[in-house]
Amino acid sequence: MKISIINYKLLLALLFILASWITFTVFWNSSKLWSALNLSISFHYWDNSTKSIFPKIPLIPLKSLTETELRIKEIMEKLDQQIPPRPFDHVNTTSSATHSTATILNPRDTYCRGDQLDILLEMRDHLGHRKQYGGDFLRARMSSPTLMAGASGKVTDFNNGTYLISFTLFWEGQVSLSLLLIHPSEGVSALWRARNQGYDRVIFIGQFVNGTSQVHSECGLILKTSAELCQYMDNRDQEAFYCMRPQHIPCAALTHMYSKNKQVSYLSKQEKSLFERSNVGVEIMEKFNTISVSKCNTLKSVDLHESGKLQHQLAVDLDRNINIRWQKHCYPLIASMTYSVKEIEYLTRAIDRTGGEKNTIVVISLGQHFRPFPIDVFIRRALNVHKAIQRLLLRSPDTMVIIKTENIREMYNDAERFSDFHGYIQYLIIKDIFQDLSVSIVDAWDITIAYGTNNVHPPQHVVRNQINILLNYIC
């Protein structure tokens, strides 16, 4: 089938919007194409057993900790150290964007393209007192409205209330700087504690079909009930999902699913006030003038991959036979619309079924759907995918694997469930877990900061930029 370049990119854009995995295979003969299309997806790796007692953590009782459990424990302990409790008696003692001070180090009238501009930030509370610890969730960005370009800045936390904000000046002309206090350190601490307290901020409703009758039942990663449960288990990877078993209906009759938010919170009333709209994403450098950047004569190396001003023009050879297959990453999948679970399976199983070769590209994206759940769920999934990629690259070293990180999203939309702080922690975990593998990264996190989109589904021109980077790896 012949596909136009426009439709091809729109298809890729759709794929990039959803958390998923994708395989691109450039087929050089039709026999390979048919063998790939005939691969079936089934439940045969799942243990559809019944349990009468609700599961505890870890999901499957173990006599001794496995390698994965030990790694989860190690990562959790490191994160707990980096995000210590920050209790407060009054909002006035929390970090304040208005009272904090930002000072340009070694200021000049004009900067050269490629220079680094450093800013010293001193955080203060609402009473004007200097903060004695770090941990504030900050977002640094520079932009050029004239060039329609943007780039993220680097934030270095000295853990004593001071930060170094560094920008690489990529373009000539007038450059605007922005430094947002997304959440104060006290809010970060509250979100971290709340996230790891419960699995029930989002609940799932499963549809079971028995002949002509349909029954709906509550499902989830953990169900606190003494009722009989259907257990959908991947024993090897120690991942599971549960549904309350409808009477006289087998567990294998589960066909569809949807989710909805539950009216539950693990934040105190005082903590919730930190996430009111007026306290989220507050500009610290509101009174800063623009920076003037000139070309100068000094030769400097500038890496535009860190910038939102990426204008790669890549062509696609439509005469070649390209097959694209998209697949959901399995539970948890948050969606208010009903979706089918008949062909759902964990990413690791799908990767294990991929033979791999030099003309096969595997793209994996994990993130947004995991934010409302305790971080151990995300860590376990990332570690299992890491192992599956190891196995893939062992049997087929020429296979290209690309990890797409998640986008930033709306700032003012339900911080306890979906704050970008949750996404940032997952972003750091992905970078840490996959650093030892020969994989490429499409850094959507950095790109969406550069564009300042604040939208879980970015505009088409931003998605196109991400796709261009993907195609740059491939081509």
Domain with residue 374: its CATH number is 3.40.50.1110
* 159 and 243 share one domain: no
Per DSSP, the chain holds a count of helices (H) and strands (E) of 11, 22
pLDDT average, residue stretch 332-361: 92
pLDDT given for residue 33 in this prediction: 30
DSSP code string of 308-354 = S---------TTSEEEEEEEE--S----SS-EE-TT---HHHHHHT-
Give how far Cα 202 sits from Cα of 166, 345, 418, Å: 38, 20, 11
Tell me phi and psi for residue 385, to 5 degrees. Answer: -65, -40
pLDDT given for residue 309 in this prediction: 38
* 242 and 166 share one domain: no
- Euclidean distance between CA atoms 339 and 206, whole angstroms: 10
DSSP code string of 151-217 = EEPEEEE-SSSEEEEEEE--SSEEEEEEEEEEE-HHHHHHHHHHHTT-S-SEEEEEEEEETTEEEEE
- Between helix 420-433 and helix 375-395 the angle, nearest 10°, is 30
Residue 9 lies in a domain: no
* 152 and 225 share one domain: no
The amino acid occupying position 129 is H
* 120 and 164 share one domain: yes
Which of 289, 271, 376 is closest to 111 using CA atoms? 289
* 124 and 245 share one domain: no
Which of 211, 279, 283 is closest to 248 using CA atoms? 211
* 433 and 385 share one domain: yes
Strands 400-404 and 360-365: parallel
- Euclidean distance between CA atoms 389 and 401, whole angstroms: 8
pLDDT average, residue stretch 1-14: 40
pLDDT given for residue 67 in this prediction: 92
Query: Domain range holding 184?
Result: 95-191+275-283
Number of domains in the chain: 3
Which of 239, 250, 230, 216 is closest to 51 using CA atoms? 230
pTM given for the model? 0.85
- Euclidean distance between CA atoms 150 and 459, whole angstroms: 15
* 187 and 213 share one domain: no
User: In the predicted model, is pLDDT for residue 440 greater than 90?
Assistant: yes
Tell me phi and psi for residue 344, to 5 degrees. Answer: -85, 140
Residue 435 lies in a domain: yes
- Euclidean distance between CA atoms 96 and 4, whole angstroms: 52
User: Of residues 319 and 19, which shows the higher confidence score?
Assistant: 319
- Euclidean distance between CA atoms 264 and 192, whole angstroms: 16
- Euclidean distance between CA atoms 332 and 319, whole angstroms: 38
User: Of residues 36 and 456, which shows the higher confidence score?
Assistant: 456
CA 237-243-246 angle, to 5 degrees, is: 145
Instruction: Count Cβ atoms below 10 Å from residue 34 Cβ, excluding itself.
Output: 10
Contacts of 367 (CB under 8 A, 6+ apart): 19, 405, 406, 423, 426, 427, 430
Q: Residue 10 in 3-state DSSP?
A: helix
The answer to whether 123 and 158 have CB atoms below 8 angstroms apart is no
- Euclidean distance between CA atoms 428 and 423, whole angstroms: 9
The domain boundary residue, chosen from 241, 269, 297? 269
* 142 and 279 share one domain: yes
- Euclidean distance between CA atoms 348 and 331, whole angstroms: 13
Which of 31, 308, 18 is closest to 149 using CA atoms? 308
Confidence band for 13, pLDDT divided at 50, 70 and 90 = very low
Residue 65 lies in a domain: no
Domain with residue 112: its CATH number is 2.60.40.10
The residue with tokens 């430094």 is 179
- Ranking 6-10, 71-75, 190-194 by mean pLDDT, the lowest is 6-10
- Euclidean distance between CA atoms 116 and 170, whole angstroms: 9
Instruction: State what percent of residues in the chain have pLDDT above 90.
Output: 74
* 467 and 355 share one domain: yes
Confidence band for 177, pLDDT divided at 50, 70 and 90 = very high
Residue 3 lies in a domain: no
pLDDT average, residue stretch 229-250: 95
Residue 361 lies in a domain: yes
**Length in residues, the chain:** 475
- Euclidean distance between CA atoms 195 and 172, whole angstroms: 43
* 436 and 414 share one domain: yes
- Ranking 100-104, 184-188, 208-212, 432-436 by mean pLDDT, the lowest is 208-212
Is the dihedral angle over the CA atoms 105, 110, 112, 113 positive or is it negative? positive
Q: Residue 122 in 3-state DSSP?
A: strand
The amino acid occupying position 335 is A
The answer to whether 185 and 86 have CB atoms below 8 angstroms apart is yes
Strands 213-220 and 202-210: antiparallel
pLDDT given for residue 44 in this prediction: 36
Residue 411 lies in a domain: yes
pLDDT average, residue stretch 129-139: 98
The amino acid occupying position 334 is I
The amino acid occupying position 376 is D
The domain boundary residue, chosen from 269, 300, 325? 269
DSSP 246: P
Residue 101 lies in a domain: yes
The amino acid occupying position 184 is P
pLDDT given for residue 298 in this prediction: 54
Q: What is the pLDDT of residues 355-386, one digit of tens each?
A: 999 989 999 999 999 999 999 999 999 999 99
The residue with tokens 């270095």 is 156
The domain boundary residue, chosen from 236, 259, 283? 283
Residue 6 lies in a domain: no
The residue with tokens 């799942």 is 46
- Euclidean distance between CA atoms 131 and 124, whole angstroms: 5
Q: Provide the CB-side half-sphere exposure for 423 (13 A, CA).
A: 28
* 374 and 434 share one domain: yes
* 279 and 137 share one domain: yes
